[in-house]
Every structure is written in structure tokens, then in C-alpha cells.
Amino acid sequence: MKRKITLKDIAKELDVSISTVSKALKNSNEIGFDTREKVQAFAKLYNYKPNNIAVSLQNSRTKHIALFIPEIVHDFFTTVLKGVEEVAHKNGYNVLVCVSNESFEKEVLSMEMFARGGIVDGFIISLSKETQLKEDYNHLIEIENQGMPLVMIDRITDKVISDKVIVDDMRGSYTAISHLINQGRKRIALITTEDYISVGSLRKKGYKKALADHDIELDERLILTINNIEDSDKAIEKFIRETTFDAVMGVNDVFAVVAMKALQNQGKKIPEDVAIIGFSDGKLLKYAAPTISAVNQHGDEMGKAAAQMLIDRLESDKEAENYKTTVITTTLIEREST
Amino acid sequence: MKRKITLKDIAKELDVSISTVSKALKNSNEIGFDTREKVQAFAKLYNYKPNNIAVSLQNSRTKHIALFIPEIVHDFFTTVLKGVEEVAHKNGYNVLVCVSNESFEKEVLSMEMFARGGIVDGFIISLSKETQLKEDYNHLIEIENQGMPLVMIDRITDKVISDKVIVDDMRGSYTAISHLINQGRKRIALITTEDYISVGSLRKKGYKKALADHDIELDERLILTINNIEDSDKAIEKFIRETTFDAVMGVNDVFAVVAMKALQNQGKKIPEDVAIIGFSDGKLLKYAAPTISAVNQHGDEMGKAAAQMLIDRLESDKEAENYKTTVITTTLIEREST
DNA sequence: TTGTATGCGTTATCAC
DNA sequence: GTGATAACGCATACAA
């Protein structure tokens, strides 16, 4: 194990003091030109890099940020990660990823360990399903009490005051449904998640508002609420067998694509018989046959925005407050299914 | 900013020395029972957690590992990340993710910074395309020279000696093609990447060997090499327009699904007219219509294996050597397209 | 212009 | 049993 070279090593080798080396490497003009040259040359030669740990201990900042996502195998969160990583690296920060797997416990334990251990400087989190169900946000509040910046993204809660990045879920949904209505669709179904999932509930609201604004009566039988993701496929198939409609929106990509398959199996033509729209920025809808229209959430933009907000907090010495909520605008991607 | 509580704080509060507190918290029986109780109670009350940075500085181990992936918006790497994260956390390690974006430069710079800065204890890496093209692996060799463990995964190189986790690409491809042949397919096309991508070239080998072993003459015109991922869609469509075959394998999920769509647009029935098979563990093939058969690479297993190998190296004090290559077996998932 | 001393929070060694 | 001290690698206030 080739030990890493330290200031001390350079100092000894060049027969100067450690602090001289330290200053020389910072090009401080406290140090004579010759010494500076000499030290810098030597450091370059031996490829000296300051030990991050020591620097961190010194100023108690790790230059690491944590990103908590509920589930990685989900195009949306993947793009969020990509966005976060990009902005973080650009600003000299590293990203620690924690996949909560929708588990409250993992979210809480990991968060506490990251926070109290001084492992990261701040957090970006998209809440786990379980957390949203329990409505227990003490771990987040605790983070803030410790003075650590926190940015919530996508799956958020109003119970915690912090910076937030969301998408205009309600509006996106509203626009999509309006689009379907304007195309002449009358009976529009919705496949959604249970209400405790913040985004699902907002999308349902947008759906309802669009219907109301266009004087279409709400028919609760056209709304399918998936409570168990495991057998969502079966639930959707059953729903489609038993319900008739001429358009359907899924609050994510899988719901939309599963619905389409079920409809096709029933001999329905897409989009002639039934129009379909989903939520996603991923490949699933883009490569479906026919391609499926989507409300694009711009996960990468959200990730970038969140990272930037967090870093701004970290770099500013103001005592925080005046928390902001950034709303990323969804865009409707029209494809063959509508 | 509520300062975090330290040993010193506890010591002062309880009027004992810092080292007493330190030992008491470790339940050392050097310390009297009463003092231990008292200290531990106090620590629990104030939720004391040792400062990781200080501990790291002490023993020069961060308990962080870096995962380098070329591209995150790719189901395979996503599942790898999931696997790595799971095993890492189980063993008390955190995962720093770096997305190289297929860029040699980003790979090298990030790697050096992680290594020389003492930010992580070890690396798991899947090489960027550019790195494989340049065949410049000095950064990896440098890592090893510094005595830091390195595990290469999936996109690897023989030029660097280290622990490796791969999938039996050649065999997976061989099995898939043989399967097609046994079904009576005669003209089997292959959509692949350029040879410098290690896995692409292996999959092509498996393809060729399967043909040879079944006495089918190789027709180079049935092989499409995608050199620019950007316009792969167009290249595939053109290929399909100009070439006739009764089966096709794509070396990833996108190639397979794009091929299917192009074929369907031509009025071909899947699988009656043309059988299709892809490489992937993601949703894209699973939710296609018809569902597409796949060589499952088990990204999560690979990730888990890689993380375990790395951690084993880190926790063992042996002077390394005897590097291992773990081969994860692919499995053929038969779906509707074959 | 350079060097000394101190501290960041721990752990470990050694003395009391 | 308990505590003082040094050390990890660096930065910085303060001497010289």
C-alpha cells in the first residue's frame, strides 16, 4: 500500500515547515517566490493532493450530499439521480445514493447515520411510500434542527418546511386530460395510486378539475386505485375487462403500458378506440407500440434544480429561512397513442 | 446550526476525561461499571454518534466505495447500482455514484480525485466507451498501485489485473442463438455495437459460434454494427428495410425493441415472421407488445457480487493478489417474441 | 519570509 | 479505574 504523500512528507523532504508548504501550495504571497516554486514543483512531481478527510475535519464540511430515492428501478428517479449528479460534480460535490426501497425504517436509519455521523453536508430526498403513509416526518425535522439543509423532491410533504422541487403534477394531469377531452374523448379513465402518495393525489385532482371544467360528470367507477404494486398488472387487466371508456391516463409509465397491452388483447385499437397517456420521461412509453403520449416530468431538470438549491444553501452563510419551492413545468409529449 | 455533540462535551458535562468517555462508550472493562452506565446513558440521551470524519482520519478508512457507471439511463446499470447499494449498506459502507457519461476524461478525473483525496476506500467500475476505445487504463493501474482495491464489472479489460465480475456474455448469446436455431430459424440477424465494447464483441462471438456449431454459414450482411448510438434508430430501420431474416438478436434492450417496431411497421408478424431476442433485465422488453424474450444479465446479482468482492478485499488484511473473476450466469427469459 | 502552536474529534498508548 | 498525551493531515493565528 503506497502511502499517500502528505504535507509533512514534502516539508521534510524540502526541509521547510509544514505550514510553509501549506501556504506555498495555496500560492500565498506570505511565502517567498522561490520557496513557492520549489514546493509547488515538488508537489506536482509527486502528485500531491490534500487529504479530504483532514480538510473535512478541519472545516466540518464533507462536500458530500446524500440523495434518497424510494426506488431506483424507475426511470423517473434514475433521471433525477443523473441531474443531481451532474450539478453536484460540477460544483465539486459528491453524491451518496441511498435507495430507501419505499421503507420508512431504512429512510430513517440511513438519514440519521448520514446526519449525525457528519457524513454529508445536506440532503435531497424523495419520500418513501411508507413514510408518506405513516406521516411521520420526525427524521426530516431533526435534520433541519441540526441545521442541515434539506431539499425535498417530487414526493414531498407539507408538514415539513424546507426547500422543495416539484413538478406541476396537477397542472400536468389537467393539461393531459383536457387534451383528451378536446380530442372528443368522453369517458376518460384514470389509473392511479392511493391518495397518500402526494403526486398521485395531485394528479387525480388535476383529472377531476379537467373533467369539471369541461362539464363532464365524474364517474368514480372510471378511477382505478392501485394499492398493491405487486399485482397491479392483474388489477389493471380486471379493470379494463369490466369497464368501458375511450381514453385512459396512468399516473406513471407502467400503468399506461400495462393498460395498453390489456386493451390490445381485448382487440381494441389504439388510439382509435381508446387513447392512452402516461407520466414518464423514460423509454418505456417512447418505445411502446404504438408509442404512448406522456406527461414529461423532466426528472433531470428536477434533479439539477434540487442539487443547485441545496448547494446554494450550503455555500451561503445566511441563516436560511425563506424556503423556496421550485416548480418544474411538465410538458405534454404527443405520440401515437392520442 | 445546532453543533453536534462530541466526546469532549460529554466529558466536560460528566466531569471525566475524554478518554474515559471514549472507552466507556466502547464498553471497555477498563472503565468502572458506574461510569460506563453514566456515560452511556448520557450519550444515548443526547443521541451521541461518533464523528465519522474524525474516525476516518484516525484509521484512514472512509467506509465509502465509489461506483462508476458509464450511463445511468440504462436499466442494466440501474440494477447494478441497486445491487451494489444493497450489499454496501448491509456491510456499513456507503456508495458514491459517478456517472462517467461514457467520457474518458470524467472517468479519469473523478477517479483520481476519489483516490488521491482519500474519499473512498475502493472502486467498482464499468468502463466508459471512450476508455475502451482508447485502451488507456493508466488511471486504473494507478489506483491499484496505490493499493486501493478495484473491481471491474461488465465492461472490463484484460489489460488490467484485478477482481472482476462479468456475465457469461458469449455463452448467453450462444444460448439465445442456439435457441432460435432449434426453433427452425435459418437467417438470424445481429444488431450489435462496435468491437471495442467488450461485451458487444463477446456477444458477437457467441453468435458466430452458435451459427458455426449448427452448420449455418455466417453471412456478414446479417450483422449490423451501430457506431453512433444517437441515430441507432434510423440505422436499424434502414437495416431492416434492406435485409431479410427470420430472427434477430439485439445486444441490448433498445436495439431489440426498435427492431421490433421497424419490423411491425413493415407488416411483419412477431414471432411468426421474425423472432426477436434482446439483452436486458429491465422493463422495456417485458412490457413490449408482444413481450420480447431476453438474455437476462442479472445486473443486481452482478452488483451484489462486485460489492461483496470489494468489501472482502477491504476487510481482509492479506496483501491481495490471486484476483478472482466472478462469472454470473445469464438466463434466457422466453417471452412471446420467440 | 518562515516557523510554531493549536485545534478539528477520535483512538490508542502509557502513566498514574 | 482513570486521565494525560500523541497522532491522524491540514489550516491558521500568531511569533519570530
Report if residue A152 sits inside a domain. Answer: yes
Q: Which residue minimizes Cα–C1' distance to C7?
A: A58
Task: Concatenate the DSSP letters of all residues of B41-70 into one string.
Answer: HHHHHTT----HHHHHHHHT---EEEEEES
Rounded to a whole number of angstroms, the distance from the CA of A218 to the nearest CA of chain B is 30
Nucleic strand C contact set for A 226-285 (CB, < 7 Å): none
Looking at the predicted structure, is the pLDDT value of residue B319 above 80?
A: no
Do B75 and B134 fall into the same domain?
yes
Q: What is the pLDDT of residues A71-95, one digit of tens each?
A: 998 889 999 999 999 999 999 999 9
- Give the structural domain span for B100: 64-165+299-327
Question: CA of B81: which chain A residue's CA is closest?
Answer: A72
Looking at the fold, whether B284 and B183 belong to one and the same domain comes out as yes
- Cross-chain Cβ contact A52/B282 below 8 Å: no
Buried b (16+ CB within 10 A) or exposed e, B269-308: ebbeebbbbbbbbbbbbbbbbbebbbbbbbbbbbbbbbbb
pLDDT in tens, A14-34: 999 999 999 999 998 889 899
Separation CA A248–CA A189 (nearest Å) = 4
The alpha-carbon gap from B176 to the nearest alpha carbon of chain A, in Å, equals 23
CA distances from B214 to A321, B11, B182, B258 (A): 71, 77, 9, 28
Confidence of residue B252 (pLDDT cuts 50, 70, 90): very high
With respect to residue A114, please indicate whether it lies within any of the assigned structural domains: yes
- Give residue B289's pLDDT: 87
Query: In the structure grid, which three cell numbers stand for residue B222, read together?
Result: 446479417
* Same domain for A121 and A221: no
Q: Are A250 and A228 in contact (CB under 8 A)?
A: no
| Three-class secondary structure of residue B101 per DSSP | coil
B16 touches strand C (CB under 7 A): no
pLDDT value of residue B50: 94
Report the run of H or E that residue B192 belongs to, with start and end.
strand B188-193
pLDDT (0 to 100) of residue A73: 80
> In angstroms, rounded to a whole number, what is the distance separating the alpha carbons of residues A31 and A28?
6
Along the 338 residues of chain A, how does pLDDT read in single tens digits? 567 899 999 999 899 999 999 999 999 888 989 999 999 999 999 999 999 999 999 989 999 999 999 999 888 999 999 999 999 999 999 999 999 999 999 999 999 999 999 999 999 999 999 999 999 999 999 999 888 999 999 999 999 999 999 999 999 999 999 999 999 999 999 999 999 988 999 999 999 999 999 999 999 999 999 988 788 889 999 999 999 999 999 999 999 999 999 999 999 999 999 999 999 988 999 999 899 999 999 999 999 999 999 999 999 866 667 899 999 999 999 999 99
Q: Evaluate whether residue A68 is within a structural domain.
A: yes
CATH code (residue B318): 3.40.50.2300
Pick from A176, A175, A150: nearest CA to A165: A150
The four Cα atoms A159, A163, A169, A172 give a dihedral, to 10 degrees, of 160
Residues B332, B280: contact at Cβ < 8 Å? no
Alpha-carbon span A208 to B48, nearest angstrom = 49
Residue B74 has pLDDT above 90, yes or no: no
Mean pLDDT of chain B: 94
Spatial distance between the Cα atoms of B100 and B67, rounded to a whole number of angstroms: 10
Nearest to A204 by CA among A228, A172, A180: A172
pLDDT (tens digit per residue) in B181-218 = 999 999 999 999 999 988 999 999 999 999 999 999 99
Averaged pLDDT, B228-255: 92
**Percent of chain B whose pLDDT exceeds 90:** 87
Nucleotide with C1' nearest the B55 CA = C10
Can you tell me whether residue A113 is helix, strand or coil? helix
For residue B69, what pLDDT is reported? 97
One domain for residues B136 and B181: no
The secondary structure of residue A219, as a DSSP letter, is -
Nearest chain B residue to A46, by CA: B116
Interatomic CA distance for residues B288 and A284, integer angstroms: 8
A139 and A91, same structural domain? yes
B54 touches strand C (CB under 7 A): yes
> Is B78 close to A85, i.e. CB distance below 8 A?
no
The CB-based long-range contact list for A222-225 (8 Å cut-off, 24+ gap) reads A222/A187, A222/A188, A222/A189, A222/A190, A223/A189, A223/A190, A223/A192, A224/A189, A224/A190, A224/A191, A224/A192, A225/A192, A225/A193, A225/A194, A225/A195
**CA of A181 vs chain B CAs: smallest distance (Å):** 27
Residues B133, B235 within the same domain: no
In a domain, B71, yes or no: yes
- Averaged over B110-131, what is the pLDDT? 95
DSSP character for A281? Answer: S
Same domain for A214 and A117? no
Q: Which pLDDT score is estimated for A228?
A: 81
Query: B148 with B252, same domain?
Result: no
Answer whether residue A336 is part of any domain: no
The C-alpha cell at B122 is: 475502493
Please report the pLDDT score of residue B54 as a whole number.
95
**A1 interaction partners in chain B (CB closer than 8 Å):** 146-147
Judgement on whether residues A136 and A279 belong to the same structural domain of the protein: no
Q: How far is CA B118 from CA A61, B82, B204, in A?
A: 15, 24, 40
Q: What is the per-residue pLDDT for A320?
A: 64
Nearest residue to nucleotide D2 when comparing alpha carbons to its C1'? B20
* pLDDT value for A319: 64
- Tell me the pTM: 0.94
Distance A113 CA to D8 C1' (A): 23
Residues B155 and B204 in one domain: no
What 3-state class would DSSP assign to A67? strand
Q: Is the pLDDT of residue B101 over 90?
A: yes
Let me know whether A304 and A288 are in one domain: no
Q: Decide if A332 is inside a domain.
A: no
Nucleotides of C under 7 A from a protein CB: 1-5, 7-13
pLDDT value, residue A316:
85
> Cα B162 vs. chain centroid, distance in angstroms?
15
Tell me the average pLDDT across B68-97.
95
Contact A265, B336 (CB under 8 A): no
- CB-CB contact of A197 with A129 (8 Å): yes
C-alpha cell at B249: 438478436
Specify if A238 maps to a domain.
yes
Clarify whether residues A44 and A99 are in a common domain.
no
- The DSSP result for B243-287, as a single string, is ---SEEEESSHHHHHHHHHHHHHTT--TTTT-EEEEE-SSHHHHT
Question: What's the helix, strand, coil split of chain A in %, to 5?
Answer: 50, 15, 35
What is the structure's pLDDT at A4? 85
**Do the domain assignments include residue B31?**
yes
pLDDT of residue B320: 65
Instruction: Quote the number of domains for chain B.
Output: 3
Residue of A nearest to B286 (CA): A284
